[in-house]
Amino acid sequence: MKWKNTAITKKLRIDYPIIQAGMAGGPTTPELVAAVSNAGGLGTLGAGYMTSESMRIDIEKIRKLTDRPFAVNLFVPENAEIDADKVSNSNRLLRPIREKLHLGDPPAVQQPTLETFRKQLDVVITTQVPVCSFTFGIPDQSIIDELKDRNIRVIGTATTVHEAVLNERAGMEMVVVQGSEAGGHRGTFAVPFAEGMVGVMALIPQTVDAVHIPVIAAGGIMDGRGVLAARILGAEAVQMGTAFLTCLESGISEWQKKLLLNHAETDTVVTAAFSGKPARGIRNEFVKRFDPFAHLFPVYPIQNQLTQDIRKKAGKEKNPDWLSMWAGQGVGMSKECSAAELMEQIIMEIDRFSL
Amino acid sequence: MKWKNTAITKKLRIDYPIIQAGMAGGPTTPELVAAVSNAGGLGTLGAGYMTSESMRIDIEKIRKLTDRPFAVNLFVPENAEIDADKVSNSNRLLRPIREKLHLGDPPAVQQPTLETFRKQLDVVITTQVPVCSFTFGIPDQSIIDELKDRNIRVIGTATTVHEAVLNERAGMEMVVVQGSEAGGHRGTFAVPFAEGMVGVMALIPQTVDAVHIPVIAAGGIMDGRGVLAARILGAEAVQMGTAFLTCLESGISEWQKKLLLNHAETDTVVTAAFSGKPARGIRNEFVKRFDPFAHLFPVYPIQNQLTQDIRKKAGKEKNPDWLSMWAGQGVGMSKECSAAELMEQIIMEIDRFSL
């Protein structure tokens, strides 16, 4: 079996079917993105939370570091109504933590607008980013067509077979299929969250059997064994987040990398307490205390706004109790190395299987 | 890679590293067990709920149908105190269903005793069953030693790396590692149930890295792709339940097989509402109605006793609403064929990968 030459490596013009996930909020520095692309994979800038200005700066930096293809990941905006009762629930419950961290009044929440997303798309188009991937839903048909017309490859995200089919129907050229093992936010958009918690072993072959576009497996894949297993299950590529999180080029703090390196597969949990949307991360004090109340909190991204300065301050104080530490169930296989070394190890491991 | 010659095929004297799971409560007829063993795998009699008498009868039947090795699976008894309040909660909530099904008063609950387990073990020993696997915990050291002394191979069950290590320390010769995808009861015994919900893709390599005994992967494995992927992840064999559930020899009713063949990966859910212990099955009316109250119900096996005649009657009436239909997340890949055909297909699929 030719593990490295797939429909996806051909379409994306990369050497290996390995995509570094577009983890939003800091980890995907231009250095990380470029290192992965330079090593023959596809680096992804996690631009979900970025302004168009900072996107433009980072894309420029990436281009200075590599002439290989890379991707930008965007969040498809959702209709989020501000529920005043839920906002005040959240602020009331979080107050003791705000006091503990010497934070002032909670920030005023802002209704998300489509404008930010449109500006992000404009950057993708004007800077001619080679690949654009989407999470949290499927953008309007006109957007997909617009990108494809400009020769920008489009990748969707699904957590169920049905969601993958919806991506295919909308014209996505390939789809990331996120298993329940995956770290960070769940990409579920067409079914209740719990129904989208399907393990990679079951999810990938059933999806491959149902769609014609190439499938990218995500969730729990950390090394050559995972990449090859995903290929055997029918995926044409893998997307790895947690594995790149502890790499030297990753933008999370050194003390957070050290913590992640010491966590086990049972230490992560899916919670909506941080952002209003279910996401997998380390079961820390924040999760233990607030996960039971997550149903009282506002939806994403409102709750995300309400916890933002708490997470930021905890980060500054190197306090792991009150920040979100996204990680997948493969966290126990995390390594401390450069992205190039990780890529090289994966390739060596697979070659050892002598396929 | 030699997918079929492993530490486990050698130790168990079987041709292929494929174990049919010991699904308790009816599916594992002597015909199914023997068919799998005759096809070169390891059939397993799910004897968890069986009396020693019926075990003896079935083992005799299996022996008439095959001279190949086979296994018996037993449930390690747990300390289950009868909580009178919870028993009455359960009976009160289930009353409308009992009435709907024209059932009389609920059965009196019985404190489980160690005696049944000891009798089951005695049958395993006196009939010299080749392999004995355990679920729901680790039996006393004396039992493990007794079986090994009599040249009976012992297999444990784990749902986390730590539980696999505990099995190894106790002297188990190999361990089934059950991912979150798996159908039926969760084997979790050393951590809270939710922490043991780890996907196969993440769980197998981390377990393989931590123990020296051979690992058997379970959960979501339905065909050659799954078997080979599990082998790549480091498992020396796989255990498949759902895949054999719709086989011709399986003991579940024909109408239930037909239903399973039409379910998708999102249709299963883990609930403790049926038995008091979390188990994955089809999200039917019973689950929708009672899962929200599962915390009010007594623990396993007390709740199992309280729902037994409901499930039985629903089964007789071919009413899928009120019975437990255990199935894993791979259910969408179920096939209608004989066990021998399923085994043959798997082997052909793998050979096609030309490893």
Our CA-based measurement puts residue A355 at a distance from the nearest CA of chain B, in whole angstroms, of: 6
Give me the pLDDT at residue A137, please.
96
In one letter, which amino acid is A257? K
CA count, 13 A, side-chain hemisphere, B175: 33
Our CA-based measurement puts residue B175 at a distance from the nearest CA of chain A, in whole angstroms, of: 18
- Note whether B299 and B285 are within 8 A (CB): no
Instruction: Work out the angle at residue A330's Cα, subtended by the Cα atoms of residues B19 and B236, and round it to the nearest 5 degrees.
Output: 25
Chain A residues closer than 8 Å to B196 by CB? 266
- Note whether B69 and B130 are within 8 A (CB): yes
Chain B residues closer than 8 Å to A221 by CB? 201
Sign of CA dihedral B162, B163, B166, B168: negative
Closest chain A residue by Cα to residue B191: A266
Closest chain B residue by Cα to residue A328: B202
Give me the pLDDT at residue B207, please.
98
Give me the pLDDT at residue A112, please.
81
Chain B residues closer than 8 Å to A234 by CB? 225
Q: Do B354 and A220 touch (CB under 8 A)?
A: no
Give me the pLDDT at residue B80, please.
85
Chain B residues closer than 8 Å to A230 by CB? 201, 229
Give me the pLDDT at residue A354, please.
66
- Cα–Cα distance list, A312 to A48, A284, A287, A309, B269 (Å): 17, 15, 16, 5, 36
Give me the pLDDT at residue B9, please.
98
Closest chain A residue by Cα to residue B180: A199
Residue A218 phi/psi, 5-degree rounding, is -135, 145
Our CA-based measurement puts residue B283 at a distance from the nearest CA of chain A, in whole angstroms, of: 10
Question: Pairing relation of β-strands B174-178 and B153-158?
Answer: parallel
Summarize pLDDT for B330-346 with one digit per residue, the tens.
999 999 999 999 999 99
Closest chain B residue by Cα to residue A329: B202
Q: Do A199 and B191 touch (CB under 8 A)?
A: no
| Span between the terminal Cα atoms of chain B, in Å | 6
Domain locations along chain A: 7-77+113-261+329-352, 80-111+264-326
Q: Is the pLDDT at B354 greater than 90, yes or no?
A: no
* Residue in B209, B266, B354 nearest the CB of A191: B266
A333 torsion bin: left (phi>0), alpha (psi -120 to 50), beta (else)? alpha
In this structure, the dihedral spanned by the alpha carbons of residues A273, A277, A278 and A280, taken in order and rounded to 10 degrees, is -80
Q: Is A258 helix (H, G, I), strand (E, B) or coil?
A: helix
Locate the DSSP E strands across B95-236. 131-135, 153-158, 174-178, 184-185, 215-218
- B186, B221, B236, B266: best to mutate for the A interface, most A CBs within 10 A: B266
Residues 6 or more apart whose Cβ sits within 8 Å of residue A105: none
Closest chain A residue by Cα to residue B270: A194
Kindly state the tokens that stand for A208: 């491959």
In one letter, which amino acid is A35? A
Give me the pLDDT at residue A177, please.
98
Q: Do A265 and B203 touch (CB under 8 A)?
A: yes
Summarize pLDDT for B245-285 with one digit per residue, the tens.
999 999 999 999 999 999 999 999 999 999 999 999 999 99
Our CA-based measurement puts residue B355 at a distance from the nearest CA of chain A, in whole angstroms, of: 6
- A203, A207, A266: best to mutate for the B interface, most B CBs within 10 A: A266
Our CA-based measurement puts residue B103 at a distance from the nearest CA of chain A, in whole angstroms, of: 33
B136 torsion bin: left (phi>0), alpha (psi -120 to 50), beta (else)? left
Q: Is the pLDDT at B355 greater than 80, yes or no?
A: no
What is the spatial distance between Cα A342 and Cα A345, in angstroms, rounded to a whole number?
5
* Residue in B220, B230, B233 nearest the CB of A202: B220
- Note whether B10 and B38 are within 8 A (CB): no
In this structure, the dihedral spanned by the alpha carbons of residues A143, A144, A149 and A153, taken in order and rounded to 10 degrees, is 130
Summarize pLDDT for B104-125 with one digit per residue, the tens.
999 999 888 899 999 999 999 9
| Span between the terminal Cα atoms of chain A, in Å | 6
Kindly state the tokens that stand for B288: 């929708």
CATH number assigned to the domain covering A7-77+113-261+329-352: 3.20.20.70
CATH entry 3.30.70.141 includes domain B7-77+113-263+327-352: no
All residue ranges of chain A with pLDDT < 70 are: 354-355
Summarize pLDDT for B213-242 with one digit per residue, the tens.
999 999 999 999 999 999 999 999 999 999
Helices and strands in chain B: count of H runs, count of E runs: 14, 11
Chain A residues closer than 8 Å to B202 by CB? 181, 219-220, 222, 265, 328-330, 332-333
Q: Do A329 and B203 touch (CB under 8 A)?
A: yes
Summarize pLDDT for B206-216 with one digit per residue, the tens.
999 999 999 99
Q: Is the pLDDT at B23 greater than 60, yes or no?
A: yes
Our CA-based measurement puts residue B196 at a distance from the nearest CA of chain A, in whole angstroms, of: 7
Average pLDDT estimate for B135-160: 98
- A2, A193, A201: best to mutate for the B interface, most B CBs within 10 A: A201
Sign of CA dihedral B173, B177, B183, B187: positive
Q: Do A225 and B233 touch (CB under 8 A)?
A: yes
Residue B17 phi/psi, 5-degree rounding, is -80, 55
- Minimal CA–CA distance to A137: which of A80, A92, A181, A97? A80
Question: Pairing relation of β-strands A215-218 and A237-240?
Answer: parallel
Query: Please, is A2 exposed, middle or buried when counting C-beta atoms within 10 Å of its C-beta (0-12, 13-18, 19+)?
Result: exposed
Sign of CA dihedral B10, B13, B16, B17: negative
- Note whether A205 and B225 are within 8 A (CB): yes
- Cα–Cα distance list, A317 to A101, A146, A253, A255, A311 (Å): 9, 44, 11, 11, 10
Return the number of CB contacts < 8 Å for A and B: 152
Give me the pLDDT at residue A79, please.
83
Closest chain A residue by Cα to residue B235: A225
Bridge partners of B280, per DSSP, are B184, B270
CA count, 13 A, side-chain hemisphere, B300: 21
CA A206 to chain centre: 22
- B230 sits in which H/E element: helix B224-233
Query: Please, is A213 exposed, middle or buried when counting C-beta atoms within 10 Å of its C-beta (0-12, 13-18, 19+)?
Result: buried
- Note whether B200 and A265 are within 8 A (CB): no
Bridge partners of B303, per DSSP, are none
- B197, B201, B242, B352: best to mutate for the A interface, most A CBs within 10 A: B201
Average pLDDT estimate for B59-72: 98
Q: Do B222 and A202 touch (CB under 8 A)?
A: yes
